[in-house]
Structure 1
Amino acid sequence: MDKLSRRGLLTGAGAVVAAGTFGLPTATARNLSPTALPTTKRFKMSATTNEFFRSQPLHDATVMQSFAFDTPNNRLFAAQVRGGSVSNGGDLTLTRLDFAGNELGYMYLTGFGHAVSIGAEASGSTTYIWTETDVDTTNGRGRQICRFPWQSGKTLTTASVTKWKPVSNGTIFTPATDQRFGRLGVRYALADGMHINVYSLAAARAGDFSTVLASFKQPALTPGIDFQGWTLYGSYAYFWEGEAYPGEPDETKANSKLWCYDINAGEIVDSFLTLAGKSLTYREAEGMAVYGSTDATARLYFGFASGVTGARRANLFYRNTLV
């Protein structure tokens, strides 16, 4: 969960800010993009819920924080805080899963962050993972982003990866990949709240963040509810929020909500309070990602952690209606 969101980092939909390290002009519009993204279809938030898998264990017994798909290679990866790690130490576990939720491998990341969001990118038969890194131990969040090849059984430290800080005065960085449209999103905090920049994925993997395709301040979502994930697809950004049930399943306490933001218009255009997985014990919203190389195959996935302490489980559901 992204507990920092409850303390005001997500509030506000419009302000004058300077976005990016490389001199993007300030603007008063909610979307601070110098140019509009080509308009695409968007996922319908109230569309039929489809279950992908339910109650699957990850490599560690902690809560799943996020996940990502390598679409060309049909691979799925999930991230969680490493079991037994020091609080705010930033130690993560990545698990590779098949599409039934069975473990196929794992990696350890030492001193990286909290993994509110991760990304995946195919390069031939190799999957590259995008994560935050260089943990700030005062809050457990990454101060930079990085990209590295998946290597099952490998342990990485922050010293063993190439790191970037795309926004010089930003903090609390998390990445998300839009493989369909070849873009990288970077979410980060400024003094007035959370912001998102969109870059070319090809340029970003070469370390070039000089061209910002779009930049906007994250809009206000539900006050007092934890932010749990985000992703990009075309000209839209998607947000996911929700908190765990306090005890046994109780759908009257469900507060997990999907949000769709039109980057070009600079406004929320759709939202939906979902009861997907309402019978799960604990049921905490965790993680969001897109799979698919065409509109016909595209799916917007959203996840839940479930189970009891010491035996948490991962659950994925999806929408596949585009409008």
Structure 2
Amino acid sequence: METRIDLAVPSAGWLSRKATLKEPTVLQSFAFDDVRGHLYVLQVTAHGHAAGDLCLNRLDHRGERLGHMYLKGFGHGVSMGVQHDASGGSPWIWTEADAKNGYGQGVTRFHFAAGAVRTAANVKVRHPVPGSANNQPSVCPESGRIAVRYRDKAGRPRYRVWDLDAFVARDYANPVADIAQTGAHPDPKVPFQGYALYRDGIYQLAGSPYDERTNPRASRGNAYVSCLDIRTGELLQQERTVAGYGLEHREPEGLAVRGGTDPRIYIGFASGPLGARRFSLYVKDAAAA
């Protein structure tokens, strides 16, 4: 499973300044369902940050909204995953769940249902790392694995990876990997903004919105993408990205990978004024470079 995406290739625009999400807030994370041509996007609701209330949008690949649902008390939406149902039914959506102080303390999966509202009573919450906090999932369909980013009892961020079938069966005893989160940004104080599991790599995003004092627009921002090897925990690559540098606000938000013969990594950015945020996606495609 040695396929790795080169983060040094230039980024190209894929969706630009879309205003099709249900809530006026920024996107938090996103994931692709390439079987059905859908894009799922998570947002914190406009008044639900402390409660961990999320809105899940289902879009087509042009960024047009096909439906949405609400997740009450689930978390911050830092990452998500799509698991295809072997029976051919609608995919499972993996998110954090069981919010405390706005962040999910476990993970869960469910089927998308337009217009529905989910609460903890409607889903089965998993706590795969006892004593951990801030659990956030990502799924790699190609390797059949799931990762959970979590904070250990000392508050340090880590990743743990399992075989997805074992995880679904609630067998958490033999993870594929358990590594420290490192290398997301040269400055550890800069906010972490998302990750995605792809084969033997954890791809990370970190960066801040534009700020004329600390992160001026003229500098083209401080966003970085990076990759960790789940087998060793080694930082394989760390690259600054200036994708979307012309956006207003330009806050990095979310990362996703589409695999196949031409694996590509997608980077999300929020733009626009407070209360009317838009979203853009940029892609790094080594085959097109």
Structure 1 residue runs of 5 or longer lacking an equivalent are 1-38
Given the alignment, which residue of 260, 279, 292 partners 2:246? 279
Identity among equivalent pairs (%): 37
Structure 2 residue runs of 5 or longer lacking an equivalent are none
RMSD over equivalenced CA pairs, Å: 1.6
Alignment of 1:69 onto 2:54 = no
**Partners of 2:92 and 2:47 in 1: CA distance:** 26
Look up the match of 2:273.
Answer: 308
User: 1:256·1:285 contact (CA, 8 Å) conserved in 2?
Assistant: yes
**Partners of 2:131 and 2:2 in 1: CA distance:** 31
TM-score of the pair, normalised by structure 1: 0.83
Aligned-pair distance for 1:231? 0.8
Aligned-pair distance for 1:249? 7.6
Aligned-pair distance for 1:70? 1.7
What is the SS of the residue equivalent to 2:165?
helix
**Partners of 1:233 and 1:321 in 2: CA distance:** 15
- Residues 1:94 and 1:204: Cα distance change in structure 2 (over 3 Å): same
What is the SS of the residue equivalent to 1:203?
helix
User: 2:249·2:271 contact (CA, 8 Å) conserved in 1?
Assistant: yes
Given the alignment, which residue of 168, 171, 183 partners 1:208? 171
Paired residue total: 279
Structure 2 matches for 1:143-292, cutoff 5 A?
Answer: 143-190=105-152, 191=154, 193-220=156-183, 221=185, 222-246=187-211, 250-252=217-219, 254-292=221-259
What is the SS of the residue equivalent to 1:204?
helix
Alignment of 1:133 onto 2:100 = no
User: 1:244·1:283 contact (CA, 8 Å) conserved in 2?
Assistant: yes
Aligned-pair distance for 1:150? 0.8
Q: Deviations over 1:235-290 (max 9, x none)?
A: 11111001101269824150000001122232111111111001100000000111
Aligned-pair distance for 1:210? 2.5
Q: Deviations over 1:77-129 (max 9, x none)?
A: 000101223x4101000111111111111010001110111111111240211
- Residues 1:125 and 1:51: Cα distance change in structure 2 (over 3 Å): farther
Structure 2 matches for 1:29-68, cutoff 5 A?
Answer: 39-57=1-19, 58-68=21-31
Amino acid at match of 2:282: F
User: 1:62·1:82 contact (CA, 8 Å) conserved in 2?
Assistant: yes
**Partners of 1:122 and 1:143 in 2: CA distance:** 24
Amino acid at match of 1:283: R
Deviating 4+ runs (over 4 angstroms): none
Higher relative contact order (CA 8 A, sep 6+): 1
Amino acid at match of 1:107: M
What is the SS of the residue equivalent to 1:159?
helix
Aligned-pair distance for 1:318? 1.3
Look up the match of 2:47.
Answer: 84
